[in-house]
Every structure is written in structure tokens, then in C-alpha cells.
Amino acid sequence: MSADTIALNQRMNRFDGQPQVWLFGYGSLIWKTEFPFIERRRATIRNWSRRFWQGSHDHRGTPDSPGRVLTLVPDHGSVCAGMGYLITPEVFDHLDHREKNGYLRHVVELRFDDHSVDNGLIYIADENNAAYLGPASDEEIARQIDRSTGPSGDNRDYLFHLADALRELGEVDVHVFAIERHLRGLHAA
């Protein structure tokens, strides 16, 4: 599959005709919205874990030196915390462009702090897209993040903002925080 997934996502019609839809953000969408939303609520999804396994050729890196950004991987029994945004379908054009580098829309069940549940959309980049980098050690990922910069800025800023946002949510993400420790260690040395 091509890394540019805009056309594929525009054919998704699961929520056609609905005036508003929930969107789940688990990475930069937690702290960097840049789109209008009706409501924002802390939410979780089940059986998915964050991983810095997706290449960023368009935002936090370049085609010659891709950065690493988050995707989700199936992980039975896990809970991934993030933010739910109630949006109108007009926001999809912006999101499809923002998430164009290998991410596809999927339907997911969101659980909110008040114990309510609703279906919504999520963008996930799986191993079948051209920008997928896959697993590496935390130290290798930290080194790649440290040397990557793209049109949206330094890749390390993406990681640091995410780690701070997760702490503000009261969440511990072992993968994210381990990479953050390695990255900070590179600069302390």
C-alpha cells in the first residue's frame, strides 16, 4: 500500500450521514489538535498499544531521513488512554491530509471516564503501508528520533510533548517513557 492514504480514507463511509463522530487521539492528537471540535474528553480503547513503529516522511522527518511516530499495534488485554474529540464530518479532509502517511481510518469503541461507550474513528498505520518501519530497540528508536527533523519540527519535540501530555492524563506508557529516557540520556552524555 502507498504511504499516501488520503484517497483510501475518503472512500470510508461508515459514519456517512451522521452530523457528528467521535475521533480517538493517541499520539499528537492528544496535544496538537489544529482542528475544530465540539467536545473533548479523556477516553480509552482496549486491546491496542502505542508503538513508535511508523515512519514520518512528511511531518517529523523527510523521505531520506524519516522520523518515527506512533501507531497502534494489537495487544490483547491492554488499555490505551488518549483523548476523544467529537467532530463534524467536515473535519475529515483536514485529518485525512494530516494522517496521510500510511494511516487508515478504523472504527473503534471508545470508553469514557463516566463509563459511557461509543463508536468512533481512529487512524492506524499497520505493517502493510510503505512508511511502516516496524519494531526496533528503545535505544535505536531514540537515536532515530534524535536525528530526525521535518516540516512539522524536530521529531524529539513530538516525543517530549507526547510524554508530557500522557503525564498530564496520569498515564504511564512504558514504551514511550523508555524511549524518552534514552533520548534524554543521549543529551546528558
Residues forming the active site: 99
| CA–CA separation, 90 and 173 (whole Å) | 32
Region of 134 (left: φ > 0; alpha: ψ -120 to 50; beta: rest) is: left
- The span from the CA of 63 to the CA of 118, in Å, is 37
What residues does 153 pair with on adjacent strands?
A: 150
Q: What is the DSSP string of 104-169?
A: EEEEEEEEETTS-EEEEEEEE--TTSTTB-----HHHHHHHHHH-EETTEEHHHHHHHHHHHHHHH
